[in-house]
């Protein structure tokens, strides 16, 4: 078919639009967000109204983890008494924030495969699948933050103007979580052991992300630099300063200068770029690889 | 809101049979799709680590090879072909589920696909949530999707199951739901893959009704099926795919004949299903069994209306006293269609005895009222007329296909008959 004749036909049928096939996004942003919200809301509803205790269950998990860790770290290891203001609130807030990251990334890893029925049979922007998981976890985070707030006020954390900066921490965490989730969900389609590797890695990250302990107990030097290369660490440290204890060191101060934050920022940016690049590359073919 | 049940014929139905003159809604040019099928699929890092140098062993499957066609507005366009001919791949590319390796597709308007039994549902969600999600995927806004919920469930006859999770739906129910969603999205073009292969008879009839209405309303439909009757009933034009290539595009009748020729030419003739039958410890074995045409040449498939002619040789593994042979013709679901029974009688009228190692020759000609489909001929041998059922052995002798266009109006068989109609009081 020569170009001339198809151009002539196009002129006769201005309605003809090229079909480019499936992709990461595409089909319009409105449709993307409609689908994203529909999928997350129905997932969220399922979690909250599917069981009798709904909301209680989703709170119970971080709270129980919190109770165990609190007992261990205040009664046995006594990190809690080493100069952390409001250690209980510090611990709970960190657990809730990290749980968001962990829950979203672990669930998203298998999401594209789990949604096989939809992916193989309907046409929609593929990025909706991991992003809807992130959004569902984000709803959970919101519900859990209510508990954190009540807890914080009850334990005497006084409101500060820097609470207004808290959304910045959450934004950074959401962007990082979205990048990791999208990347893993596409990678899992080709390499099924990603799920196991990541669930172990996420647990390792939990202990390496200064969730349980203040970074100040890590000796300055290589070890602290390594810890600070993890982008979650400066986010948590800064959040602590903004939300709980304005006297605590900020991320740059705790790391030992702004320069020490460069690795974390680099990793953060690289993660986002790689995620976008890889997901866009894989999205057109995920339906075939399943 | 126009529901399928209320579609008014927009055009004179007579005109609908003409060659469609409308604008092109789907234009496909030189579509190619290559699947690389791993001989040994490397799914995990462990396997990758264990076999670092074994490059991926891929077998290449050319699912589509330079496929070009147009579908015009108001056309009912059939795509036929054997399993693996690329039909479903083509439909998935049209529906933007797969991406073509080369070639272009241009489409005017919104497409609603019904792919591979259509069930693009999430089993963990309720039917209601799934319907909304599916409708939005097909291009409605969430608001429109919610407005159409009642109509979707009404057509699917599932009003009582809207809050049931999809995993608790039977396969028939989810197909009905998916089909109903597709209809209610009121897309400009419908892509339908094998909807007639599933569901119960009532649902199939409903599909037929909908197809008739869509045809009358000049809807644009791309329809993939094995069912030649449906192609010839509904399609304005059809395309035959074979090994990923367009073999023929044209009149449904001609495409249907072409498809049947393609289907039955290649198969080798006169094969018995030996694996199942030659059980040595039983009293009788099939030595050979074959189907014959009228010139005594072996065939595997019989044209509709032609007699079923067969010959077979059985060998007795142990002595048979006054054996009785029953021949049954069964359909694909092993339902008995009809049968014949014969006792072995010698020339002098005495019942025959077959010593161990002795052979019985069988030659049969049966009338063939069978409608097109898959059938098999079985032979039951009763070892001794006076003994009970214990000594009866069943053998599947010949599998065959009846092809062609039936003269009746459905059912398993076509029988001759005469029905007179007269308008009362017209004289």
Please check whether residue A13 lies inside any domain of the structure. Answer: no
Three-class DSSP category at B280? coil
- Buried/exposed code over B91-115 (b: 16+ C-beta within 10 A; e: otherwise): bbbbbbbbbbeebbbbbbeebbbbb
Q: State the pLDDT at residue B118.
A: 56
CA distance B108 to A19: 10
Tally the domains of chain A: 1
Interface-testing mutation among A41, A123, A132, A288, with chain B (most B C-beta atoms within 10 A)? A123
Which ipTM value was assigned to this complex? 0.80
Q: Report if residue A102 sits inside a domain.
A: yes
In a domain, A288, yes or no: no
Whether A222 contacts chain B with CB within 8 A: no
Name residues whose C-beta falls within 8 Å of residue A263's C-beta, 6 or more positions apart in sequence: A225, A228, A229
290 residues of chain A, pLDDT tens digit each:
334 444 444 445 557 888 877 887 777 788 889 999 998 988 888 777 766 676 777 778 778 888 888 888 777 777 655 667 788 888 889 999 999 999 999 999 999 888 888 888 888 889 999 999 999 999 989 988 988 898 888 888 888 899 999 999 999 999 999 999 999 999 999 888 999 999 999 999 998 888 888 888 888 888 888 999 999 999 999 999 999 888 888 888 888 888 889 999 999 999 999 999 999 999 888 888 77
Q: What angle do CA A277, A283, A289 make, to 5 degrees?
A: 125
pLDDT at B123: 85
> Minimal Cα–Cα distance from B99 to chain A, Å?
5
Q: Is residue A11 part of a domain?
A: no
According to the model, what pLDDT value does residue B289 have?
87
Between chain A and chain B, how many beta carbons pairs sit less than 8 Å apart? 122
Percent of the residues in chain B that have a pLDDT greater than 90, as a whole number: 11
Q: Which residue has the tokens 């709980």?
A: A244
Q: How far is Cα B399 from Cα A242, in angstroms, rounded to an integer? A: 79
**Exposed, middle or buried, A19 (CB in 10 Å: 0-12/13-18/19+)?**
buried
Interface test with A, best of B24, B118, B122, B128 (most A CBs within 10 A): B122
Domain contains A169: yes
pLDDT tens profile B142-190: 999 999 999 999 988 899 999 998 889 888 888 888 888 888 888 888 8
pLDDT of residue A94: 92
Chain B residues in contact with A188 (beta carbon < 8 A): none
Confidence of residue B10 (pLDDT cuts 50, 70, 90): very low
Contacts for B257 with CB less than 8 Å, ≥ 6 apart: none
Structural domain includes residue A286? no
Contact, B182 vs B138, CB < 8 A? Answer: yes
Nearest to A46 among B118, B125, B138 (CB): B125
Q: Which helix (H) or strand (E) holds B374?
A: strand B373-382
Which pLDDT does position B152 carry in this prediction? 92
* Position A39 in a domain: yes
A15/chain B closest Cα distance in angstroms:
5
Residues of chain A found within 8 Å of residue B132, distances taken between Cβ atoms: 38
Task: Name the band, by pLDDT with cuts 50, 70 and 90, for residue B418.
Answer: confident
pLDDT at position B294 over 90: no
Higher pLDDT, B10 or B194: B194
Residue B393 — very low, low, confident or very high, per pLDDT cuts 50/70/90?
low
pLDDT at residue B194 above 60? yes
- Mark yes or no for CB contact A122/B45 under 8 Å: no
A4 lies in some domain: no
The DSSP secondary structure of B305-344, one letter per residue, reads TS-EEEEEEEEESS-EES-EEEEEEEETT--EEEEEEEE-
Alpha-carbon distance A210 to A226, whole Å?
A: 12
Distance from CA of A190 to the nearest CA of B (A): 6
Interface test with A, best of B27, B68, B144 (most A CBs within 10 A): B27
| DSSP letters spanning B66-101 | EEEEEEETT-EEEEE--TTSSHHHHHHHHTTSS--S
Please tell me if residue B121 touches chain A, with a CB cutoff of 8 Å.
Answer: yes
Q: Is B142 on the interface with A (CB under 8 A)?
A: yes
The reply to whether B96 touches chain A by the CB within 8 Å rule is yes
Model pLDDT, residue B392: 62
Does residue A20 belong to the interface with chain B, where contact is any CB pair within 8 Å?
A: yes
Domain span including residue A193? 22-279
Is residue A42 less than 8 Å (CB to CB) from chain B?
Answer: yes
């Amino acid at each position: 078919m020569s170009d001339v004749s198809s151009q002539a036909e196009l002129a006769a049928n201005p309605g003809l639009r090229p079909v480019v096939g499936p992709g990461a996004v595409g089909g319009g942003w409105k449709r993307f967000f409609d689908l994203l919200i529909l999928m997350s809301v129905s997932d969220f509803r399922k979690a909250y109204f599917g069981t009798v205790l709904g909301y209680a269950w989703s709170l119970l998990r971080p709270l129980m983890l919190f109770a165990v860790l609190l007992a261990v770290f205040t009664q046995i290891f006594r990190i809690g008494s080493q100069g952390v203001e409001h250690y209980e609130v510090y611990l709970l807030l960190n657990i809730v924030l990290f749980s968001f990251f962990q829950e979203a990334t672990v669930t998203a890893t298998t999401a594209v495969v789990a949604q096989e029925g939809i992916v193989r049979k309907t046409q929609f922007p593929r990025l909706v699948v991991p992003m809807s998981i992130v959004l569902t976890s984000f709803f959970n985070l919101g519900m859990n933050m209510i508990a954190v707030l009540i807890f914080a006020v009850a334990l005497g954390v006084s409101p500060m103007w820097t609470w207004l900066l808290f959304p910045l921490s959450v934004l950074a965490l959401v962007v990082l979580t979205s990048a990791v989730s999208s990347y893993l969900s596409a990678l899992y389609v080709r390499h099924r052991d990603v799920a196991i590797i990541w669930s172990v890695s996420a647990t390792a990250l939990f202990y390496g992300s200064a969730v349980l302990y203040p970074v100040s107990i890590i000796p300055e030097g290589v070890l602290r630099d390594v810890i600070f290369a993890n982008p979650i660490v400066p986010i948590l440290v800064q959040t602590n300063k903004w939300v709980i204890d304005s006297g605590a060191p900020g991320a740059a101060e705790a790391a030992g200068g702004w320069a020490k934050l460069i690795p974390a920022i680099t990793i953060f940016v690289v993660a986002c770029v790689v995620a976008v690049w890889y997901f866009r590359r894989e999205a057109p073919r995920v339906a075939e690889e399943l | 809101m126009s529901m399928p049940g209320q579609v008014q014929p927009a055009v004179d139905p007579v005109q609908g049979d003409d060659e469609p003159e409308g604008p092109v809604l789907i234009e496909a040019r030189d579509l190619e799709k290559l699947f690389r099928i791993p001989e040994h699929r490397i799914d995990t890092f462990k396997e990758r680590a264990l076999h670092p140098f074994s490059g991926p062993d891929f077998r290449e499957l050319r699912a589509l090879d330079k496929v070009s066609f147009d579908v015009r507005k108001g056309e009912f366009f059939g795509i036929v072909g054997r399993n693996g001919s690329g039909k479903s791949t083509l439909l998935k590319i049209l529906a933007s589920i797969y991406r073509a390796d080369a070639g272009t597709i241009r489409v005017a308007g919104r497409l609603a696909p019904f792919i591979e039994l259509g069930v693009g549902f999430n089993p963990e969600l309720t039917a209601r949530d799934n319907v909304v999600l599916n409708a939005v995927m097909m291009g409605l806004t969430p608001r429109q999707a919610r407005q159409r919920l009642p109509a979707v469930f009404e057509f699917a006859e599932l009003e009582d199951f809207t809050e049931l999770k999809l995993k608790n739906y039977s396969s028939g129910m989810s197909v009905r739901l998916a089909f109903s969603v597709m209809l209610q999205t009121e897309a400009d073009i419908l892509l339908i893959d094998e909807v007639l292969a599933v569901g119960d008879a009532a649902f199939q009839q409903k599909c037929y009704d909908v197809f008739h209405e869509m045809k009358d309303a000049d809807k644009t439909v791309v329809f993939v099926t094995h069912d030649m009757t449906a192609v010839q009933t509904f399609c304005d034009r059809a395309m035959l795919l074979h090994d990923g290539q367009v073999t023929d595009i044209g009149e449904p009748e001609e495409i249907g004949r072409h498809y049947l020729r393609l289907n039955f030419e290649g198969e080798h003739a006169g094969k018995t299903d030996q694996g199942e039958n030659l059980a040595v410890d039983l009293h009788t074995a099939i030595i050979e069994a074959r189907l014959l045409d009228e010139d005594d040449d072996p065939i595997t498939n019989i044209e509709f209306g032609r007699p079923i002619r067969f010959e077979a040789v059985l060998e007795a593994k142990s002595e048979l006293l006054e054996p009785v042979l029953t021949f049954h013709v069964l359909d694909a679901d092993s339902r008995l269609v009809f049968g014949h029974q014969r006792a072995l009688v010698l020339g002098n009228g005495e019942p025959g005895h077959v010593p161990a190692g002795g052979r019985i020759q069988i030659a049969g000609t049966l009338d063939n009222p069978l409608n097109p489909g898959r059938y098999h001929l079985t032979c039951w041998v009763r070892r001794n007329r006076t003994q009970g059922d214990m000594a009866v052995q069943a053998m599947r002798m010949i599998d065959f296909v009846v092809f062609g266009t039936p003269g009746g109006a459905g059912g398993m068989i076509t029988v001759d008959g005469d029905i007179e109609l007269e308008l009362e009081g017209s004289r």
